[in-house]
């Protein structure tokens, strides 16, 4: 369904629920980063900027928002994005004034999230009214290694 510009009916999941995600399949070709260990003694899986390979976040930071880690949304111009939700993305910087205009998560304001190294657009940082912020990162702009 491609909505008309300004028509956002049915695009907002409610209620907004945040929780740490359990085991999920890796989203791309898996690789392992040496030196970083997870709670189970395994090496951690990192997500990197597709454009400059800077570490952005890790699989350990994956969360569910409104019941899912992955979401597919269309912006008001019809461009479709598949995003993954993460509790933190230390490799990102947030840019812009927070807004609720055209938000994909009801009750959340958003700002752009850019790669902290090459400044490529990687997604959005969302701030719910009374909960911790989270990142919705464009999966096509990340490499899993």
Give pLDDT tens digits for 46-73.
999 999 999 999 999 999 999 999 999 9
Chain centroid offset of residue 11 CA: 17
Q: Do 134 and 126 touch, CB atoms closer than 8 A?
A: yes
Residue 15: is the preceding peptide bond cis (ω within 30°)?
yes
What value, to the nearest 5°, has the Cα angle with vertex 71 and ends 109 and 95? 35
Give pLDDT tens digits for 3-53.
444 444 344 333 444 444 443 333 333 333 334 444 555 689 999 999 999
With CA atoms as reference, report the closest residue to 69 among 9, 145, 144.
144
**Which pTM was predicted?**
0.72
The neighbour count for residue 35, using CB atoms within 10 Å, is 7
Task: Inform me whether the pLDDT recorded for 1 exceeds 50.
Answer: no
Please report, rounded to a whole number, the percentage of residues in the chain having pLDDT higher than 90: 66
pLDDT of res. 124 = 97
Encode 60-91: b = buried (16+ Cβ within 10 Å), e = exposed: bbbbbbbeebebebeeeeeeebebbbbbbbeb
How high is the mean pLDDT of the chain? 80
Give pLDDT tens digits for 125-137.
999 988 899 999 9
With CA atoms as reference, report the closest residue to 119 among 27, 37, 56, 30.
56
Q: Helix-strand-coil percent breakdown of the chain, rounded to 5?
A: 5, 45, 55
Which structural domains are found in the chain, ordered by start? 23-144 (2.170.150.20)
pLDDT of res. 42 = 65
The neighbour count for residue 46, using CB atoms within 10 Å, is 22
């Amino acid at each position: 369904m491609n909505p008309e510009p300004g028509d956002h009916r049915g695009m907002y999941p409610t209620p907004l629920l945040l929780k740490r995600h359990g085991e999920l399949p890796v989203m791309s070709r898996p690789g392992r980063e040496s030196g970083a260990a997870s709670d189970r003694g395994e090496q951690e899986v990192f997500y990197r900027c597709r454009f400059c390979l800077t570490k952005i976040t890790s699989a350990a930071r994956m969360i569910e928002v409104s019941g899912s880690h992955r979401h597919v949304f269309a912006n008001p111009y019809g461009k479709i994005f598949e995003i993954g939700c993460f509790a933190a993305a230390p490799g990102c910087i947030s840019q812009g004034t927070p807004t609720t205009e055209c938000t994909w998560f009801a009750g959340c304001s958003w700002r752009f999230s850019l790669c902290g190294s090459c400044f490529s657009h990687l997604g959005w940082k969302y701030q719910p009214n009374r909960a911790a912020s989270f990142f919705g990162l464009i999966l096509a702009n990340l490499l899993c290694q």
